[in-house]
Amino acid sequence: MRYAVYFTPPEAHPLTSAAAIWLGRNAFDDAKPSISVPQTDLAHDQWLTATAEPRRYGFHATLKAPFSLSPDMQAHTLHEAFRSFCRTTSATVIPRLVLAQLGPFFALVPDGECHAVAELGASCVQAFEPYRAPLSEADMARRKPERLTARQRENLERWGYPYVFDEFRFHMTLTGPIETADQPRMRAILEERFAPFVGQPLQIEHLALFVEEERGSPFKVAELLPLA
């Protein structure tokens, strides 16, 4: 079993609903992938491939990347720590959300620097580190450390994830890698589908503790709590 601390809006939030339709899965009720593609010009198999990875993880932004529980800890102590963190951590806001391309992936990100959100991410990384079991050699290898920068490798070894602190970028993933030739069409589809949210603020008022019950199974929301 693995856990993760993510940001996701509440289940009833319009962005959560739009993302669930696009991804074909709602991490709050662990619904199975939709059998039909959302109304786009994508073929069903193209949509399934494009959304496979974010579908499994659920719509979210990573704050504390997935981790196995330390042998010295128990699940209830992690839940207690999560509740305490939410009670004592202030809510914040992303002033303007935009659609961005991160390499071959598409995601919703802040428009420019957002220091309060970066600080929230750093706080999560540090606060929940005592609950994380060390990465196995297989987990280290999955991150392809040979492709990482020196700083990212240091982060991976120290914190279990390459993209923390100065390497952190808040992003809510909408696709897996998209072939170069298909990227303009995918951007157009996503710009239309998420138009009500692009250019608008996004309140960061809740955090979620996600759980992956077995390796490779879908992540689902175990607990969602408001921030202070």
Q: What is the pLDDT of residues 5-18, one digit of tens each?
A: 999 999 999 999 99
- Side-chain-side CA neighbours of 99 within 13 Å: the count stands at 18
d(CA 42, CA 115): 37
User: What tokens appear for 52 in the block?
Assistant: 């496979």
* Stated pTM of the model: 0.93
Mean pLDDT rounded to a whole number for the chain = 94
CB proximity list for 158: less than 8 A, separation 6 or greater: none
pLDDT of res. 106? 98
d(CA 208, CA 167): 22
CATH 3.30.450.70 assigned to domain 2-226? The reply is no
pLDDT of res. 1? 94
At 225, which helix (H) or strand (E)?
A: strand 220-226
By CB atoms closer than 10 A (0-12, 13-18, 19+), residue 10 is: middle
